[in-house]
Amino acid sequence: MEETEGDAGKAKEVDAGAEAGGLATLLVSCAYSLPLQTPSVSALTLGVESRAPRETHGGFAGRCVTLASRTLGRDLDMALECAAASDESKAGSAPAGKDGSGRCLADRTGGTGNGGQVDAYYRSKLLLRYLAQLAGLGIVSLADDGPQGGGEEEGGGTS
């Protein structure tokens, strides 16, 4: 997420799918919804990164990694019941949660969950598998020296 100097205290909402593009969004959604196809999706990500024309698909793997990371963060928040409870809390009318107490859903209800949390847990698990396979293919590295993921910034996916 990018912030300007005037918005230092406010997080800017980003549409990660629109930034990543249609093909990257499709591949990441397949990675978190088709558990038996994760190796295929990882190989397809590598294939597009290495063989597609740079003019149209340059930095493709990096966009996939960024989208997967953002989706993973959202799903972890949802699985742990720490996501914003309503749009009102984003607007600033309530500190967090519908009751304005500043507590997440788990604190207010004693940790009772719902099916959405289970789905978020499984999506997180599958996205971690996808990112691990991308790391095995050399697209993602554990270097602390900049943005992670393949792409033009890091030499075309050989980071």
Q: How many CB atoms lie within 10 A of CB 60?
A: 28
> According to the model, what pLDDT value does residue 44 have?
92
CA 58-63-65 angle, 5° bins: 130
Interval 35-85: pLDDT, tens: 999 999 999 999 999 888 888 888 888 899 999 999 999 999 888 877 554
The H-assigned helical ranges of the chain are: 16-20, 22-33, 38-51, 54-57, 60-79, 87-91, 105-109, 115-136
Interval 116-143: pLDDT, tens: 888 888 999 999 999 999 999 988 877 6
Alpha carbons 105 and 10: distance in angstroms, whole number: 22
Q: Which position has the higher pLDDT, 35 or 96?
A: 35
Alpha carbons 27 and 11: distance in angstroms, whole number: 27
pLDDT band at 90; cut points 50, 70, 90: very low
pTM assigned to the model: 0.64
